[in-house]
């Protein structure tokens, strides 16, 4: 190996640096005012030092005490911060263990995991909170008097105080009342504040409606599958529609029907072919007399008397004995 010692090396003409067309290998430190590579490649085994504070490593690592960029910096992997005073980031900042700083300026919110958001308006959103809240300030505590499982909570007309009913409970299926009287009330503002209610009182169940007595008005409606069949109001008990509902059936009959005059009419059949005998329809009233039974034709006003034959019960007994 030869050694060249010189204060300076110039090209053959003496007006510049020499050329090394086949390359040059230097072991040690190269100090230069500028460094140009014709082939656009500089092969360094370890690193290049730029000044005292910057190292350009051959593993793609730049080590520096500080950096100043006037444009954009694009990082394909992870940018690791250590002992950083300020971070100005647009997007998501992921911290390894925690962020400790007196001030964090966030335009929208910080997400902690999937279920917590720290909002810039002072709002913390989370799916659940732990602790009894005793150390929180600015929160008004609400007291629930007589609180117990399944009791209905009502207002008390006192700020920050609620009452749990001692007689009314709800278990998710049944509403239960332990007193002797209970009323469910509804006010109908469309009918001059009519008061409608269902009341349970001392073993009785009362239905009340303040609607008028007209058949077409509201009253107590008894429904099945959303369609009502029977209506009760001040005038009486009515079927929902004419000639569509039965009272009893062929297998379920009422024991006795107690009535005064019995009014009969099959007028609804006049457009359906009339009765099964002569195809007409009628409107009659049966009334009782002291000794007779009468039939009034309401269509023509004619009156009839049933021909009744008295049954002699002594004769029936004698006939039975003879037989």
Give Cβ neighbours of residue 160 (< 8 Å, ≥ 6 apart).
140, 141, 142, 143
219 CB-contact burial (10 Å; exposed 0-12 / middle 13-18 / buried 19+): buried
CA neighbor of 293 nearest in space, from 312, 273, 310, 271: 310
Q: Quick one: tokens of 137?
A: 């300030």
- 100 close to 83: Cβ distance less than 8 angstroms: no
Residue 30 has what DSSP assignment?
A: -
Instruction: State what percent of residues in the chain have pLDDT above 70.
Output: 75
The radius of gyration of the chain's CA atoms, rounded to the nearest angstrom, is 52
- 109 close to 117: Cβ distance less than 8 angstroms: yes
- 114 close to 132: Cβ distance less than 8 angstroms: no
User: 40-52, pLDDT tens digit by residue?
Assistant: 566 666 677 776 7
Q: What is the pTM of this model?
A: 0.41
d(C-alpha 219, C-alpha 225), whole Å: 18
Residue 222 pLDDT > 70, yes or no? yes
Give Cβ neighbours of residue 57 (< 8 Å, ≥ 6 apart).
46, 47, 63
Helix or strand (DSSP H, E) at 237: strand 236-239
- 235 close to 246: Cβ distance less than 8 angstroms: no
pLDDT at site 213: 41
Q: Quick one: tokens of 229?
A: 């069949």
User: 121-157, pLDDT tens digit by residue?
Assistant: 778 888 888 887 778 777 787 888 888 888 988 888 8
How far is the first Cα of the chain from the last one, in angstroms, to the nearest whole number?
Answer: 160
CA neighbor of 142 nearest in space, from 131, 155, 152: 155
d(C-alpha 260, C-alpha 288), whole Å: 8
The overall average pLDDT reported for the chain is 78
pLDDT at site 74: 80
């Amino acid at each position: 190996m030869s050694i060249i010692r010189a204060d300076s090396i110039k090209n053959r003409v003496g007006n510049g640096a020499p050329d090394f067309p086949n390359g040059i290998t230097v072991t040690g430190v190269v100090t230069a005012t500028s460094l140009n590579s014709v082939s656009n490649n500089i092969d360094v085994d370890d690193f290049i030092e730029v000044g005292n504070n910057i190292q350009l490593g051959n593993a793609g690592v730049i080590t520096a005490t500080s950096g100043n960029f006037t444009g954009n910096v694009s990082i394909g992997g992870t940018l690791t911060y250590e002992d950083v005073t300020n971070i100005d980031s647009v997007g998501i900042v992921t911290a390894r263990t925690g962020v400790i700083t007196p001030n964090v300026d966030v335009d929208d919110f910080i997400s902690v995991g999937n279920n917590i958001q720290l909002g810039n308006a002072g709002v913390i959103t989370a799916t659940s909170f732990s602790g009894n809240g005793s150390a929180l300030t600015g929160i008004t505590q609400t007291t629930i008097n007589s609180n117990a499982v399944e009791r209905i909570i009502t207002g008390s007309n006192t700020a920050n105080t609620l009452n749990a009913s001692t007689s009314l409970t709800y278990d998710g299926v049944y509403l239960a009342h332990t007193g002797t009287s209970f009323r469910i009330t509804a006010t109908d503002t469309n009918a001059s504040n009519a008061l409608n209610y269902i009341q349970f009182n001392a073993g009785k169940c009362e239905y009340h409606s303040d609607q008028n007595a007209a058949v077409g008005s509201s009253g107590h409606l008894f429904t099945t599958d959303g369609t009502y069949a029977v209506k009760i109001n001040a005038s009486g008990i009515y079927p929902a529609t004419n000639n569509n509902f039965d009272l009893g059936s062929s297998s379920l009959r009422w024991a006795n029907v107690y009535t005064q005059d019995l009014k009969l009419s099959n007028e609804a059949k006049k457009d359906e072919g009339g009765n099964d005998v002569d195809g007409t329809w009628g409107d009659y009233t049966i009334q009782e007399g002291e000794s007779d039974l009468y039939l009034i034709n309401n269509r023509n006003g004619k009156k009839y008397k049933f021909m009744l034959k008295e049954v002699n019960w002594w004769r029936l007994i004698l006939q039975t004995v003879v037989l």
